[in-house]
Amino acid sequence: MTTRNHTPGPWIFDAQNSGINSDPGWGLLNADGESLGITVHWDRRSSTDTAYANARLIAAAPDLLAALQRLRDAVQTAHVGGDERCNDCAVCVSLKLADAALSKAAY
Protein backbone atom coordinates (compact mmCIF):
# COMPACT_ATOMS: atom_id res chain seq x y z
CA MET A 1 0.00 0.00 0.00
CA THR A 2 1.33 3.43 -0.95
CA THR A 3 1.94 6.02 1.74
CA ARG A 4 -0.70 8.71 1.84
CA ASN A 5 0.64 12.23 1.75
CA HIS A 6 -2.62 14.07 2.32
CA THR A 7 -3.80 15.36 5.68
CA PRO A 8 -5.56 12.50 7.43
CA GLY A 9 -9.31 12.76 7.89
CA PRO A 10 -11.71 13.59 9.08
CA TRP A 11 -11.90 16.89 7.28
CA ILE A 12 -14.47 19.28 8.63
CA PHE A 13 -16.66 21.51 6.49
CA ASP A 14 -16.37 25.02 7.96
CA ALA A 15 -19.51 26.87 6.93
CA GLN A 16 -18.26 29.99 8.71
CA ASN A 17 -14.84 29.92 7.01
CA SER A 18 -13.37 30.67 10.42
CA GLY A 19 -10.04 29.02 9.76
CA ILE A 20 -8.64 30.95 6.80
CA ASN A 21 -9.79 34.44 5.97
CA SER A 22 -12.79 36.59 5.31
CA ASP A 23 -13.09 35.68 1.61
CA PRO A 24 -16.55 34.59 0.52
CA GLY A 25 -16.62 30.83 0.59
CA TRP A 26 -16.23 27.89 2.93
CA GLY A 27 -13.14 26.51 4.55
CA LEU A 28 -11.95 23.02 5.37
CA LEU A 29 -10.44 22.13 8.73
CA ASN A 30 -8.58 19.10 10.04
CA ALA A 31 -9.73 17.06 13.05
CA ASP A 32 -8.03 19.56 15.38
CA GLY A 33 -9.98 22.47 13.89
CA GLU A 34 -6.95 23.86 12.06
CA SER A 35 -7.24 25.17 8.54
CA LEU A 36 -6.25 22.87 5.69
CA GLY A 37 -5.49 25.99 3.64
CA ILE A 38 -8.42 25.29 1.34
CA THR A 39 -11.29 27.66 0.71
CA VAL A 40 -14.01 26.89 -1.80
CA HIS A 41 -15.10 30.19 -3.34
CA TRP A 42 -18.04 31.06 -5.48
CA ASP A 43 -18.40 33.67 -8.14
CA ARG A 44 -20.85 34.74 -10.80
CA ARG A 45 -20.05 31.71 -12.97
CA SER A 46 -21.38 29.19 -10.46
CA SER A 47 -24.25 29.22 -8.03
CA THR A 48 -23.78 29.42 -4.30
CA ASP A 49 -25.50 26.02 -4.04
CA THR A 50 -22.95 24.46 -6.39
CA ALA A 51 -19.98 25.91 -4.48
CA TYR A 52 -21.50 24.79 -1.18
CA ALA A 53 -21.97 21.24 -2.53
CA ASN A 54 -18.39 21.23 -3.86
CA ALA A 55 -17.03 22.22 -0.45
CA ARG A 56 -18.97 19.45 1.28
CA LEU A 57 -17.78 16.88 -1.28
CA ILE A 58 -14.14 17.95 -0.77
CA ALA A 59 -14.59 17.65 3.00
CA ALA A 60 -15.80 14.07 2.53
CA ALA A 61 -12.80 13.09 0.36
CA PRO A 62 -10.71 11.27 3.02
CA ASP A 63 -13.74 9.24 4.16
CA LEU A 64 -14.68 8.42 0.57
CA LEU A 65 -11.10 7.36 -0.20
CA ALA A 66 -10.94 5.02 2.80
CA ALA A 67 -14.37 3.54 2.04
CA LEU A 68 -13.51 2.95 -1.63
CA GLN A 69 -10.24 1.22 -0.72
CA ARG A 70 -11.96 -1.11 1.76
CA LEU A 71 -14.81 -1.86 -0.60
CA ARG A 72 -12.44 -2.50 -3.49
CA ASP A 73 -10.33 -4.89 -1.41
CA ALA A 74 -13.40 -6.77 -0.16
CA VAL A 75 -14.92 -7.12 -3.62
CA GLN A 76 -11.63 -8.24 -5.15
CA THR A 77 -11.19 -10.86 -2.42
CA ALA A 78 -14.75 -12.16 -2.80
CA HIS A 79 -14.83 -12.15 -6.61
CA VAL A 80 -13.88 -15.54 -8.01
CA GLY A 81 -13.85 -14.53 -11.66
CA GLY A 82 -10.73 -14.66 -13.67
CA ASP A 83 -11.36 -16.17 -17.05
CA GLU A 84 -11.29 -14.04 -20.19
CA ARG A 85 -15.09 -13.62 -20.25
CA CYS A 86 -15.06 -12.26 -16.72
CA ASN A 87 -12.79 -9.36 -17.65
CA ASP A 88 -15.86 -7.43 -18.83
CA CYS A 89 -18.28 -8.48 -16.10
CA ALA A 90 -19.80 -5.75 -13.93
CA VAL A 91 -17.58 -6.64 -10.98
CA CYS A 92 -14.33 -6.50 -12.99
CA VAL A 93 -15.38 -3.25 -14.67
CA SER A 94 -16.20 -1.77 -11.26
CA LEU A 95 -12.82 -2.86 -9.88
CA LYS A 96 -11.10 -1.14 -12.81
CA LEU A 97 -13.06 2.05 -12.12
CA ALA A 98 -12.12 1.88 -8.44
CA ASP A 99 -8.46 1.36 -9.32
CA ALA A 100 -8.55 4.35 -11.67
CA ALA A 101 -10.14 6.56 -9.02
CA LEU A 102 -7.61 5.46 -6.41
CA SER A 103 -4.75 6.15 -8.82
CA LYS A 104 -6.18 9.59 -9.57
CA ALA A 105 -6.15 10.28 -5.84
CA ALA A 106 -2.43 9.31 -5.86
CA TYR A 107 -3.20 6.56 -3.43
* Residue 23: closest CA among 49, 51, 50: 51
pLDDT in tens, the chain (107 residues): 455 678 888 898 887 765 555 566 788 888 898 888 887 877 767 777 888 888 889 999 999 999 999 999 999 888 877 666 677 788 888 999 999 999 888 65
What's the pLDDT score for residue 24? Answer: 67
Check residue 19 and report its DSSP letter: T
Burial profile 49-74: b = 16 or more Cβ within 10 angstroms, e = fewer? eebbebbeebbeebeebeebbeebee
What's the pLDDT score for residue 6? Answer: 82
What's the pLDDT score for residue 50? Answer: 83
What's the pLDDT score for residue 70? Answer: 94
